[in-house]
């Protein structure tokens, strides 16, 4: 049984050294990318967790409020529970738009430079 060498890679990017990774990590451009990501993602995450915990706390301690009928058999708990799903999808959609417009171009520029494509 012969062991053939794997075919050569179609991409001819040079691998960055540890020093190059450190240099990029300390660069102003990378710092700006991290700041812009954090300023978007962290407040959104904190807000969503607070919204989720509010729902859980209301479910545990405000049974009368959550059980209040809005119309038919639809109560406050059901509406707020479905709103959890809605906000999850809205946040994911919003993040994908912001990432495509702001984060991805900056990250791609850094990646291209590191791989020697720029």
Segment 100-118, tens digit of pLDDT: 999 999 999 988 888 874 4
Stronger pLDDT, 4 or 73, i.e. the higher one:
73
CB 29 within 8 A of CB 108: no
Q: What is the DSSP string of 21-68?
A: HHHHHTSHHHHHHHHHHHHHHHHHHHHHHHHHHHHHHHHHH-HHHHT-
CB 33 within 8 A of CB 110: yes
How far lies 3's CA from each of 7, 9, 10, 48, in Å? 12, 17, 20, 53
How far is Cα 56 from Cα 34, in angstroms, rounded to an integer? 32
64 pLDDT more than 80 = yes
8 pLDDT more than 80 = no
- Record the pTM: 0.74
């Amino acid at each position: 049984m012969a062991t053939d060498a794997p075919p050569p890679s179609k991409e001819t990017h040079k691998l960055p050294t540890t020093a190059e990774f450190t240099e990029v990590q300390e660069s102003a451009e990378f710092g700006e990318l991290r700041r812009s990501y954090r300023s978007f993602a962290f407040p959104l995450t904190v807000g969503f967790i607070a919204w989720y915990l509010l729902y859980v706390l209301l479910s545990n301690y405000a049974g009368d409020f959550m059980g209040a009928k809005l119309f038919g058999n639809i109560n406050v708990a059901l509406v707020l529970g479905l709103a959890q799903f809605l906000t999850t999808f809205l946040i994911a959609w919003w993040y994908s738009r912001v990432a495509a417009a702001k984060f991805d171009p900056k990250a791609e520029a850094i990646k291209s430079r590191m791989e020697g494509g720029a």
